[in-house]
């Protein structure tokens, strides 16, 4: 620990002594030794108008900008209805002044660390826009905003210190006698030998160049004198550039330049789909020797819905989570929610990520309020993203969802130094990939969860997702367990031997049982079938399990599957494996994932039974680039066996960057490498995880969730993911024999319109008790589960087969524990989880069962009560007429 503390102190001293920041164009700060960044594209800045101006438009939308010096906002308009969706919740200066916090008027929130590792935040309004420290440049389809967040004070032409040579050879000779006298009055020549004790120590810390040369140092003076002396340096033709060079030479950071300054360019463009907002990471500039930009939250209050609004947020939690605003009904209590989830799963290269967070597998979110809203897709750098949601009432009066991009990975070292107990380590070269979010406006009938599903499906089709050739007929998955390690003996010597839990011939028995029952579509997944079985070595070459029957029996099983119209999916995990040895093609030094500190990554998993970390179950990791190379070799050997189906196991479950010096892969790079494994296989691909980068390339997904995570008690689960992928990806839920209540698990799959699955071990089941890894799957005994799973699959096929090719367009809880799922072919499926028969919407639904019926017509909107006819105007009373008086007599 003492060594760590000493190292930290040395690093801190080096930073203080060598980090010289200079001020570049527009106030941007550049670390010493770096080249000044190139000038921005030559575009004339847009003048502030103080009113909303249209910047771009197409057939359906228009992009507007409000640019008024110390106020900035923009909006996308739906031209058909005139609905505006604003970046911040104000349309006028009066509305802006009424907002309760700077955050609500900001488009960006920056989180950064200083050299003491203290985490701080700044907002684009308080630290930029309110000071008019931004510039707007026009684009053909929008504009660029260059935010200068937390800009430092302007440097004066008044050096704090100068070398003796500069003062006596460049400055004083150009001044008259009076000016020279005034300069010498306030600039004193300091020599190290003239200093002693504590003063000497303090001056060396402030002016380290004193150890090498004599310096003229400015005394403490008032503003009037500063203004006077500055004129003398101008008269001497001394420049700011020369002063900066002097500072750099003397390793001096001026006090005025010590505040953080971040230049953050954001492109705002109108596309045919909606509003594209891109943070140009390559253009972000700051003094990286003194500060580390950790993450940026973007458009936190985009189309923010107020406390009284009626609507919901959509979060990509599990199958989808619909979070209702405030009081939806008597059944939903008002919830104050602040929740954040990480995109693409556990980051296994981050020591702080223990797997106990909330994880999202697809990078989308949305909001609808009073019939209008948006759906957001993180289109680039999603693997660096978090998605957050906040309901009104916790810290502000708005219901919001937004995304945050991590700009650099960091790790933390601990020390016993009370002044610096935590020391942050960062990526040496953070990724410069842009961060783009697309906001698609949704108005009227499209402003629903299933309108959002339509948008995301169309987006994935553009990315290459293709429809299934069987028209979304229900597909089921049976996993056949292969070879495990068990206790045995050779020549009476105790040892570990390979034991088959199933053989390839057993696979034909399983398929025959499903085929005879009339199951039309089945995926047979083989696990533990090669390279050592469940205790496997890295997958580069291919060695088929002899205990299961060898290559010949595997080919026969593959042919039988094709003849039955089924698909065989042998499992291959290119990311994780159990053991390594000589000549297996694996080098931990070059192949394993590395943390920011450079440590090799091994992955441990929580026990399904105890939820405690099982340290005995530790997997080796393979970086994504190496995994792709291994997969290419492995696939070639699969093709030689006639295998054109593969299950890719864990590559859709984890976020797997690596920070090895020789092979850096940022999170987005790792996701692309994993996706390229699926894209590069010649045949049908199944995945055991459902991260979105796989969707365009897989035919089947297993363990697809049929609920949200349940980590928070709010809103309700919805089949958003099923609505997106149905008809394009075969989806099956978790194995029914893994569930606490298999009947309920099967009903969930029916409710969400997807197939079920089962895990089967055909023999030697008692041996699994001996295995740390497989003891949790003792319920896979085919003697019990094969016939039961066949019967359940037949029942669900009865209800799902007529829905082949239909899309989910609605889902509703119509009674406690009774749900209805609507399809675009006019049919609905009712599922009853209660233990008694119920009748709902005229349909009788058996206890713990289902029923189908035509989708009920929506209740007509109540006609407004007729306005009462106005009462007739009363007739005016006649005015009495007085007879004129004749002859002047009095009346």
pLDDT of 103 over the 90 cut: yes
Which of 107-121, 182-196, 377-391 is most confident? 377-391
pLDDT of 312 over the 80 cut: yes
Among 139-153, 497-511, 558-572, which is the least confidently predicted range?
139-153
**pLDDT tens track for 451-464:** 999 999 999 999 99
pLDDT at position 788, please?
Answer: 95
**pLDDT tens track for 532-551:** 898 888 888 899 999 999 99
pLDDT at position 485, please?
Answer: 86
Any idea what DSSP says for residue 160? Answer: S
Model confidence at 875, pLDDT cuts 50, 70, 90, reads: low
Mean pLDDT, rounded, for 108-115 = 89
Among 137-151, 490-504, 791-805, which is the least confidently predicted range?
490-504
Higher pLDDT, 372 or 152: 372
The tokens describing 100, both together, are 């309760």
d(CA 707, CA 319): 5
d(CA 387, CA 408): 17
pLDDT at position 163, please?
Answer: 93
Do you know the residue count of the chain? 891
pLDDT at position 867, please?
Answer: 60
Are 670 and 575 in contact, with CB atoms under 8 Å apart?
no
The mean of the pLDDT values for the chain is 85
Side by side, which strands form the sheet with 476-481?
A: 567-570, 522-527, 476-481, 755-760, 730-735, 700-701, 684-687, 645-647
d(CA 51, CA 39): 29
pLDDT at position 7, please?
Answer: 34
**pLDDT tens track for 587-601:** 888 888 898 888 888
pLDDT at position 89, please?
Answer: 95
Model confidence at 881, pLDDT cuts 50, 70, 90, reads: very low
pLDDT of 442 over the 50 cut: yes
Mean pLDDT, rounded, for 110-132 = 88
Are 17 and 252 in contact, with CB atoms under 8 Å apart?
no
The tokens describing 516, both together, are 């005879």
Q: Strand pairing partners for 120?
A: 112
d(CA 108, CA 128): 10
Closest CA to 325 of 339, 305, 341: 305
d(CA 243, CA 249): 10
pLDDT of 341 over the 70 cut: yes
pLDDT of 354 over the 80 cut: no
pLDDT at position 15, please?
Answer: 31
For strands 684-687 and 645-647, give the pairing: parallel
Residue 143 CA: distances (Å) to CA of 53, 125, 690: 12, 18, 36
Angle, helices 624-640 vs 667-679, to 10°: value is 10
pLDDT at position 517, please?
Answer: 96
pLDDT at position 340, please?
Answer: 92
Mean pLDDT, rounded, for 124-130 = 94
Higher pLDDT, 356 or 696: 696
d(CA 445, CA 451): 8
CB-CB neighbours of 459 under 10 Å? 18
pLDDT at position 883, please?
Answer: 41
Closest CA to 731 of 488, 544, 472: 472
Model confidence at 248, pLDDT cuts 50, 70, 90, reads: confident
Q: What is the pTM of this model?
A: 0.82
Mean pLDDT, rounded, for 602-613 = 53
pLDDT at position 32, please?
Answer: 33
d(CA 101, CA 786): 61
Residue partners of 558: CB distance under 8 A and separation at least 6: 568, 641, 642, 643
d(CA 375, CA 367): 7
Beta strand ranges found along 199-358 (DSSP E): 215-218, 262-270, 275-279, 292-298, 305-306, 311-315, 321-324, 338-343
Beta strand ranges found along 221-284 (DSSP E): 262-270, 275-279
Model confidence at 509, pLDDT cuts 50, 70, 90, reads: very high
Are 529 and 544 in contact, with CB atoms under 8 Å apart?
yes
Model confidence at 873, pLDDT cuts 50, 70, 90, reads: low
The tokens describing 483, both together, are 């070879």
Model confidence at 876, pLDDT cuts 50, 70, 90, reads: low
pLDDT at position 491, please?
Answer: 65
Among 25-39, 76-90, 561-575, 626-640, which is the least confidently predicted range?
25-39
Q: Is the dihedral of CA 767, 773, 776, 782 positive or negative?
A: negative
pLDDT at position 34, please?
Answer: 40
Q: Kindly give the residue spans of alpha helices, DSSP state H, lying in 710-806.
A: 720-725, 742-751, 782-800
**pLDDT tens track for 725-778:** 999 999 999 999 988 899 999 999 999 999 999 999 999 988 887 776 676 677
Residue partners of 616: CB distance under 8 A and separation at least 6: 772
Higher pLDDT, 395 or 653: 653
Model confidence at 614, pLDDT cuts 50, 70, 90, reads: very low
- The SS3 call for residue 848 is coil
pLDDT at position 255, please?
Answer: 61
Give the distance, in angstroms, between the CA of residue 50 and the centroid of all CA atoms in the same chain.
35
Nearest 5°: CA angle at 634, between 628 and 639?
A: 125
Residue for token pair 């239909």:
806
């Amino acid at each position: 620990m003492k060594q760590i503390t000493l190292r930290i102190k040395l690093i801190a001293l080096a930073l203080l002594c060598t980090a010289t920041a200079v001020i570049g164009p527009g106030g941007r700060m550049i670390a010493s030794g770096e080249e000044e960044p190139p000038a921005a594209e030559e575009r004339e800045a847009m003048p502030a108008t103080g009113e909303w101006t249209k910047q771009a438009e197409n057939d359906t939308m228009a992009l507007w900008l409000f640019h008024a010096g110390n106020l900035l906002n923009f909006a996308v308009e739906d031209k058909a209805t005139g609905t505006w969706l604003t970046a911040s919740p104000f349309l006028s200066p009066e509305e802006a002044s009424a907002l309760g916090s700077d955050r609500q008027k900001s488009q960006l929130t920056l989180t950064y660390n200083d050299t003491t590792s203290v985490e701080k935040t700044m907002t684009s309004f308080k630290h930029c826009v309110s000071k008019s420290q931004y510039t707007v440049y026009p684009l053909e389809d929008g504009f660029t905003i260059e935010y200068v967040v937390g800009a430092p004070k302007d440097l004066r032409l008044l050096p704090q210190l100068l070398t003796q040579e500069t003062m006596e050879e460049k400055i004083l000779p150009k001044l008259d006698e009076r000016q020279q006298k005034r300069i010498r009055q306030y600039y004193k020549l300091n020599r190290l030998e003239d200093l002693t004790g504590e003063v000497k120590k303090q001056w060396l810390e402030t002016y380290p160049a004193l150890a090498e040369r004599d310096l003229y140092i400015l005394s403490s003076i008032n503003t009037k004198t500063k203004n006077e002396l500055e004129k003398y340096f101008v008269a001497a033709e001394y420049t700011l550039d020369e002063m900066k060079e002097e500072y750099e030479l003397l390793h001096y950071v001026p006090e005025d330049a010590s505040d953080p300054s971040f230049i953050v360019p954001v492109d705002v463009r109108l596309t045919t789909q909606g509003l594209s907002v891109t943070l140009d990471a390559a253009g972000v500039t700051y003094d990286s020797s003194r500060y580390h930009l950790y993450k940026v939250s973007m458009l936190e209050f985009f189309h923010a819905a107020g406390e009284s609004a009626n609507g919901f947020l959509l979060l990509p939690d599990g199958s989808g989570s619909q979070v209702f605003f405030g009081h939806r009904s008597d059944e939903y209590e008002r919830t104050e929610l602040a929740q954040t989830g990480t995109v693409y799963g556990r980051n296994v290269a981050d020591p702080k990520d223990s797997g106990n967070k909330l994880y999202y597998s697809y990078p989308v979110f949305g909001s609808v309020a009073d019939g209008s809203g948006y759906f957001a897709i993180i289109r680039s750098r999603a693997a660096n993203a978090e998605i957050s949601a906040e309901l009104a009432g916790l810290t502000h009066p708005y219901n919001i969802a937004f995304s945050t991009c991590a700009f650099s990975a960091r790790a933390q070292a601990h020390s016993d130094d009370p002044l610096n107990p935590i020391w942050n380590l960062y990526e040496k070269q953070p990724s410069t990939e842009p961060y783009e979010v697309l906001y698609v406006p949704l108005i009227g009938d499209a402003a629903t969860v299933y309108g959002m599903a339509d948008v995301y499906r169309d987006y994935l089709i553009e990315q290459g997702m293709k429809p299934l050739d069987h028209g979304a007929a229900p597909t089921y998955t049976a996993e056949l367990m292969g070879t495990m390690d068990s206790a045995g003996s050779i020549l009476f010597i105790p040892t570990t031997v390979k034991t088959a839990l199933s053989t390839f011939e057993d696979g034909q028995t399983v398929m025959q049982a499903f085929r005879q029952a009339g199951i039309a579509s089945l995926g047979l997944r083989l696990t533990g079938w090669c390279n050592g079985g469940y205790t496997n070595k890295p997958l580069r070459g291919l060695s088929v399990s002899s205990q299961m029957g060898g290559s010949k029996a595997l080919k026969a099983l593959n042919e039988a599957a094709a003849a039955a119209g089924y698909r065989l999916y042998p499992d291959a995990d290119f990311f994780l494996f159990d053991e390594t040895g000589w000549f297996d093609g694996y080098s931990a030094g070059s192949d394993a994932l590395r943390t920011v500190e450079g440590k090799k990554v091994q992955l441990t998993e929580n026990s399904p039974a105890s939820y405690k970390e099982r340290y005995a179950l530790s997997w080796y990791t393979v970086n994504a680039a190496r995994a792709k190379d291994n997969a290419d070799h492995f696939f070639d050997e699969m093709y030689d066996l006639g295998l054109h189906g593969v299950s890719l196991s864990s590559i859709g479950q984890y976020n797997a960057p690596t920070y090895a010096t020789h092979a850096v892969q940022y999170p987005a790079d790792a996701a692309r490498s994993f996706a390229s494994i699926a894209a590069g296989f010649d045949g049908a691909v199944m995945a055991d995880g459902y991260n979105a980068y796989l969707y365009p390339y897989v035919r089947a997904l297993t363990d697809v969730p049929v609920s949200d995570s349940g980590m928070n008690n709010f809103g309700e689960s919805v089949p958003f993911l099923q609505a997106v992928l149905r008809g394009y990806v075969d989806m099956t839920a978790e194995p029914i024999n893994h569930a606490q209540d298999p009947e309920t698990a099967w009903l969930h799959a029916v409710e969400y319109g997807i197939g079920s699955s089962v895990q089967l071990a055909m023999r030697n089941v008692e041996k699994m008790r001996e295995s740390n890894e497989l003891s949790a799957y003792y319920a896979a005994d085919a003697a019990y589960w094969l016939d039961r799973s066949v019967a359940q699959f037949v029942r669900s096929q009865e209800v799902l087969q007529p829905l082949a090719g239909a899309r989910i367009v609605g889902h509703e809880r119509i009674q406690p524990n009774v749900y209805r799922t609507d399809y675009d072919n006019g049919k609905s499926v009712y599922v009853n989880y209660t233990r008694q028969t119920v009748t709902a919407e005229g349909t009788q639904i058996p206890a713990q069962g289902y029923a189908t019926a035509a989708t009920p017509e929506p209740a007509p909107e109540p006609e407004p009560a007729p306005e009462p006819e106005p009462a007739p105007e009363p007739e005016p009373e006649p005015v009495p007429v007085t007879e004129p008086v004749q002859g002047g007599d009095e009346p």
